[in-house]
Structure 1
Amino acid sequence: MRVLICPDKFAGTLSAPAVAAAVASGWNPSDDLVLRPLSDGGPGFVEVLAGALDGRLLDVETVDPLGRPVRGQVLLAGATAYIESAQACGLHLLTREERNPGTTTSYGLGLLMMAAIEAGAAELVIGLGGSATNDGGAGMLAALGAAPVDVAGYALPYGGAALSAAVALGGEPRLRDVRLVAATDVDSPLTGLHGASKVFGPQKGATDEDVFRLDAALEQFAGVLERAFGVTDLEVAPGGGAAGGIGAALIAVGGRVVSGIGLVSTLIGLEKELDAADLVITGEGSFDHQSLRGKVVAGIANGARDRGLPCIVVCGRNETGYREAASAGVTETLSLTEHFGSAETALAEPARGLRELSERLSAQWSR
Structure 2
Amino acid sequence: MTDNSGRVVLIAPDCFGGTLTANEAAEAIAEGWRRGSPADQLLLRPLADGGPGFVDVLHTALGGELHTVEVTGPRGEPVTAVWLAHEGTAYIESAQAAGLHLVPKAERAAGAATTRGVGELLLDAVRAGMRTAVVGLGGSATTDGGAGLFAALGAGPVDALGAPLPDGGAALVDCAGLAGRPDLGELRLVAASDVDNPLLGPTGAAHVFGPQKGASPEEVEQLDQALTRWSEVLLEELDADVAGLAGAGAAGGLGGALLALGATVDSGADLVRRLSQLDAALDSAGLVLTGEGSFDWQSLRGKLVSRVAAGAAERGVPCLVLAGQVSVGRREAGAAGVEESYSVTEHVGSVAEAMAEPAGGLSGLAERVAGQWRSPQN
TM (norm. structure 1) is: 0.95
List aligned pairs for 1:339-350, cutoff 5 A: 339-350=347-358
Q: Could you tell me how far apart the structure 1 residues matched to 2:66 and 2:140 are? A: 22
Q: RMSD in angstroms over aligned alpha carbons?
A: 1.6
Q: How many angstroms does 1:240 deviate by? A: 1.4
Q: Which amino acid aligns with 1:140?
A: L
CA deviation string 1:42-72 (max 9, x = no partner)? 1111111112214111111112101111111
Q: How many angstroms does 1:8 deviate by? A: 1.2
Who is 2:200 aligned against? 191
1:266 partnered with 2:274: yes
Pick from 204, 219, 223: which aligns with 2:232? 223
Who is 2:102 aligned against? 93
List aligned pairs for 1:1-367, cutoff 5 A: 1-27=7-33, 28-232=37-241, 234-367=242-375
CA deviation string 1:118-156 (max 9, x = no partner)? 110010011111111111111011101110122222211
Q: Could you tell me how far apart the structure 1 residues matched to 2:202 and 2:341 are? A: 30
Q: Which amino acid aligns with 2:146?
A: G
Q: Could you tell me how far apart the structure 1 residues matched to 2:129 and 2:358 are? A: 40
Would you say the 8 A contact 1:42–1:185 is kept in 2? no
CA deviation string 1:160-191 (max 9, x = no partner)? 11111223222111110211001113222222
Q: Which amino acid aligns with 1:286?
A: S
| Number of residue pairs the alignment of both structures matches | 366
Q: Could you tell me how far apart the structure 2 residues matched to 1:193 and 1:289 are? A: 21
Distance change in 2, residues 1:235/1:353 (3 Å) = same
Q: Could you tell me how far apart the structure 2 residues matched to 1:209 and 1:325 are? A: 38
Of stretches 263-272 and 144-153 in structure 1, the one that deviates more from structure 2 is 144-153
Q: Which amino acid aligns with 1:316?
A: G
Q: Which amino acid aligns with 1:255?
A: A
Identity, in percent, stands at 54
- The answer for unaligned runs of 5 or more in structure 2 is 1-6
Q: Could you tell me how far apart the structure 1 residues matched to 2:171 and 2:295 are? A: 34
Q: Could you tell me how far apart the structure 2 residues matched to 1:322 and 1:208 are? A: 36
Would you say the 8 A contact 1:3–1:34 is kept in 2? yes
| Secondary structure of 2:61's aligned partner | coil
Q: How many angstroms does 1:322 deviate by? A: 4.3
Of stretches 311-320 and 169-178 in structure 1, the one that deviates more from structure 2 is 311-320
Of stretches 52-61 and 251-260 in structure 1, the one that deviates more from structure 2 is 52-61
Who is 2:4 aligned against? none
Q: Could you tell me how far apart the structure 2 residues matched to 1:247 and 1:325 are? A: 31
- The answer for unaligned runs of 5 or more in structure 1 is none
Q: How many angstroms does 1:236 deviate by? A: 2.5
Q: Could you tell me how far apart the structure 2 residues matched to 1:50 and 1:337 are? A: 30
Distance change in 2, residues 1:142/1:353 (3 Å) = same
Q: Could you tell me how far apart the structure 2 residues matched to 1:292 and 1:150 are? A: 44
Between Structure 1 and Structure 2, whose CA radius of gyration is higher?
A: 2
| Secondary structure of 1:34's aligned partner | strand
